[in-house]
Amino acid sequence: MPDSSLLTDNIVAYISGFVVRMAKKKLKCIECILALESISDSFMDDSCMQLINRKTKGGLPSKNVFTICLHAEKQIRCMLHLSNNKLPRDDNFFELFILGTSMALISKENIFLSLNDHSLAESSIMDETHRVLLMKLIVRCYCRIRWFSVAKRQTEATRGELVRKTYSKLILFHNQ
């Protein structure tokens, strides 16, 4: 798969801002919520943040959230490329996809470094750390948004053009 373009990076960054808003509703841990949002302006000056700088509704994503969403986008595009732009119909595919994408990200040690000490203090050895749970939540939220978009496009392609939409003005205003 080719690398993402600047437009794709801007769109993923904008969607990752919405992912931050979705994740904040589901989280109760204050440190995890603070790790989601960008505090420094150095990341906001990046070229992939032009759309957010132009049209912002709050919930600015951190560099970690953007990295996770960009990785998930690459995995989704690869999956769609392999399945001819169709969503698989397997029952457990989406959960396995989210789990596989999350596990690939967990091996990267440079994501959510600020949560390493917090995660170890809050969980036992057998539990998943807050860092892992946060990564899974971000991947789940992003994939849910993207799959809704892909499913909507598939439905429109299958359904075709709506006859009522095409002829409604013609029929309503025919004799005027």
Asked if residue 77 belongs to a domain, the reply is yes
Asked if residue 1 belongs to a domain, the reply is no
- pLDDT value of position 70: 92
**Strands of the chain, DSSP E:** none
Domain span including residue 57:
6-172
Pull the structure tokens for residue 39: 């505090």
Asked if residue 152 belongs to a domain, the reply is yes
Please state the three-class secondary structure of 124-174 as a single string: CCCCCCHHHHHHHHHHHHHHHHHHHHHHHHHHHHHHCCCHHHHHHHHHHCC
- Residues with Cβ within 8 Å of 68's Cβ and at least 6 positions away in sequence, in order, are 16, 105, 111, 135, 138, 139, 142
Band (126; pLDDT cuts 50, 70, 90): very low
Number of alpha carbons in the 13 Å side-chain half-sphere of residue 17? 18
Whether the Cβ atoms of residue 50 and residue 121 lie closer than 8 Å to each other:
no
Asked if residue 93 belongs to a domain, the reply is yes
pLDDT above 90 for 139: yes
pLDDT per position as a tens digit, 60-78? 788 888 889 999 999 999 9
pLDDT above 50 for 3: yes
Q: Average the pLDDT over each of 34-43, 47-56, 85-94, 158-167 and give the range with the smallest value.
A: 47-56
Pull the structure tokens for residue 171: 């029929």
Nearest CA-CA partner of 79 in 60, 59, 55, 97:
97
CA gap 135, 99 in Å, rounded: 10
Number of independent structural domains in the chain: 1
CA gap 12, 4 in Å, rounded: 10
- pLDDT value of position 143: 92
* pLDDT average, residue stretch 98-124: 73
Asked if residue 91 belongs to a domain, the reply is yes
pLDDT above 70 for 80: yes
Pull the structure tokens for residue 65: 């959230």
- pLDDT value of position 49: 62
pLDDT above 50 for 142: yes
pLDDT above 90 for 140: yes
* pLDDT average, residue stretch 97-111: 83
pLDDT per position as a tens digit, 13-34? 888 888 988 898 998 888 888 8
Band (58; pLDDT cuts 50, 70, 90): low
pLDDT above 60 for 119: no
Asked if residue 61 belongs to a domain, the reply is yes
| Sign of the C-alpha dihedral computed for residues 68, 129, 147 and 80 taken in this order | positive
